[in-house]
Amino acid sequence: MSDQLYQERIVALAKAKTGAGKLENPTKTARRDNPLCGDRVILDVKLDGEGRIAEIAHQVRGCLLCQASASALSSVAVGRDAAGISELRHDAERALGREPGETHEPFDAFAPVAAHKSRQDCVLLPLEALKDALS
């Protein structure tokens, strides 16, 4: 056994299910599918007057990495606008080793996925969905 991927922090993020569920009357909703693996994320957001996220909720039908990423995202999304979310995306990309630079809480938890190319889209899917919702 050489279990590098499912480290405690990732499992904990997934189990926390931060933001799991739906919003009533969301300002925007976006759905993203990964056709290769069948993962699916639906993201609801409520925005304030300046395009900043006031509330967020997600329904994830997908793997633990996707759930953990949606949890991580929900835990830090409130108060951010599109540019702020894009910053999180860069953080995730850095954790995955796809961009140089230091990475921060909570996405630094995904560093073990850097060695698993085929799973990186699972981490990015919620971020893609949120980007769609904000655009």
Q: Which residue in 16, 20, 54, 64 binds another protein (CB under 8 A)?
A: 64
Nearest distance in Å: CB 48, another protein: 34
Q: Which of 28, 33, 54, 128 binds another protein (CB under 8 A)?
A: 33
Burial of 36 (0-12, 13-18, 19+ CB in 10 A): exposed
Nearer to another protein, 6 or 48 (CB): 6
Name which of 55, 56, 58 is nearest 17 in CA terms.
Answer: 58
- Work out the widest C-alpha separation in the chain, in whole angstroms: 51
Torsion over CA of 53, 57, 62 and 66, rounded to 10 degrees? 40
Least distance to another protein, CB of residue 128, Å: 14
Residues in contact with another protein by CB under 8 A are 1-6, 11, 33, 35-39, 61-65, 67, 116-119, 122
